[in-house]
Amino acid sequence: MDEPRRTGRIEVVAGPMFAGKTEELVRRVHRAQIARREVVVVAHELDTRSGVGRVASHSGLEVASATAGEAGEIPGLVGAGTELLAVDEAQFFGAELVPVLVRLADAGLVVVVAGLSVTFDGRPFSPLPELMAVAESVTKLTAVCTVCGRDAAYHVRVPGAVPDEGDALVPVASHVGGAESYEARCRRHRSR
């Protein structure tokens, strides 16, 4: 009798900046490693906040990672024995990440993918909405509003916090490394 095929799945961890998404991703990776499952962690090459070769949360949890410049490179980073694939900062990969991760889950991989669900101006941030739609599990995290302390589903750019940078021209993808120039905000305090 054939060996039963492993059952793949997609688990999404989504939210604004400062919600602890990477920490949750790293937590799931550590659990899988304790269970001696073969894990591959992928970061985008533009995400250099933690330094190349590792993914780290604000609170200091970290794990070794491989780097990809585009979604199409991810299957090449997955080995024959890989059981869990973790992808951080999914928004860097854009819409092409969705079919790539669906194919890998169809083939039996457990895929944990974390990323920003909203842009700094409060719009849904592809590909997180699409990934949430096709996932088995979605964990939507909130941050804490820096004005009032309520749950924050948004983050905003703080005026004047980005020195010498043409303000409106900075592309959405430039969330890279700029944590100090954004703040988490609740629905009430997201517009200034």
Nearer residue to Zn ion within complex by CB, 44 or 190: 190
State the Cα–Cα distance between residues 58 and 177, nearest whole angstrom.
12
Which range touches Zn ion (CB under 5 A), out of 4-12, 76-84, 106-114, 180-188?
180-188
Piece in contact with Zn ion (CB under 5 A), picked from 52-60, 87-95, 106-114, 142-150: 142-150
Annotated ligand binding at 145? The verdict is: yes
Q: Does 186 bind Zn ion (CB under 5 A)?
A: yes
Cα separation of 147 and 184, whole Å? Answer: 9
Among 118, 145, 153, 184, binds Zn ion (CB under 5 A): 145
Nearer to Zn ion, 76 or 149 (CB): 149
Q: How far is the CB of 17 from Zn ion (least distance, A)?
A: 15
Rule CB under 5 A: choose which of 52, 133, 134, 148 binds Zn ion. Answer: 148
| Residue with smaller CB distance to Zn ion, 29 or 118 | 118
Active-site residues: which are they?
89
Provide the minimum distance between the beta carbon of 190 and Zn ion in the complex, in angstroms, as a whole number.
8
Residue 127 Cβ, how far from Zn ion at the closest point, in Å?
Answer: 28
Q: Is 44 assigned a ligand-binding role in the annotation?
A: no
Q: According to the annotation, is 73 in a ligand binding site?
A: no
Q: Provide the token pair at 181.
A: 């120039």
What is the total count of residues that contact Zn ion (CB under 5 A)?
A: 6
State the SS3 of the chain: CCCCCCCCEEEEEEECCCCCHHHHHHHHHHHHHHCCCCEEEEEECCCCCCCCCEEECCCCCEEECEEECCHHHCHHHCCCCCCEEEECCHHHHCCCHHHHHHHHHHCCCEEEEEEECECCCCCECCCHHHHHHHCCEEEECCEECCCCCCEECEEEECCCCCCCCCCCCCCCCCCCCCHHHEEEECCCCCCC
Least spacing, CB of residue 155 vs Zn ion, in Å: 12
- Closer residue to Zn ion, CB minimum distance, 40 or 141: 141
Question: Is residue 140 part of an annotated ligand binding site?
Answer: no
Distance, CA of 78 to CA of 123 (rounded, Å): 32
Q: Kindly list the residues in this chain that would bind Zn ion in the complex (CB under 5 A).
A: 145, 147-148, 150, 186, 189
